[in-house]
Amino acid sequence: MTTTNHEHQEPSQFTSTSHEDQQAQRLTQRENAKRLMRESGLGEMLQGLNKNQLKGRGRFEEYDATLMLRWGTGYTLRHIWIDLIDDTIRFRLLPHLRCRSSAPACDGEYHTLTRAMWSDRAFLQTELQRYYDKPVAESSSD
């Protein structure tokens, strides 16, 4: 019986390549998210929201292409969940019926802002304020 080279390779070689690819993909996502935050001004807007309206009581959690601003106590936890994907900014919502307006694009779970939408800083600021005024409530851990 003949064997191929693949049968003699250590499984860890396949895993490390896959792991390296995953790490490279995560780095690309993080760099893209940083770029979007900088170009859109969203980072400054979120910092301003935390400073001015939450009096610095909010906390930020960062993931590869996701940012969450959380605030509140055990019974009143709230958050704004933002995904930064390619050239779009997506705000996660409670599942609902699709909105009728065309901006931002709505799929019933996310409001998606394209580059043309988030390039308008006033529009982005208005949308951010809207998500702050009606944030996603978190269920208690009780």
Bridge partners of 66, per DSSP, are: 83
* Residue 16 confidence (pLDDT): 54
- pTM of the predicted protein model: 0.80
Distance CA 18, CA 22 (A): 6
* Residue 13 confidence (pLDDT): 45
* Residue 140 confidence (pLDDT): 56
Mean pLDDT per block of 10 residues along the chain (142 residues) reads: 43 62 92 95 96 95 94 89 96 88 90 96 95 82 50
Asked whether 115 and 124 are in contact (CB, 8 A), the reply is: no
State the Rg of the chain over Cα: 20
Domain boundaries, the chain: 11-137
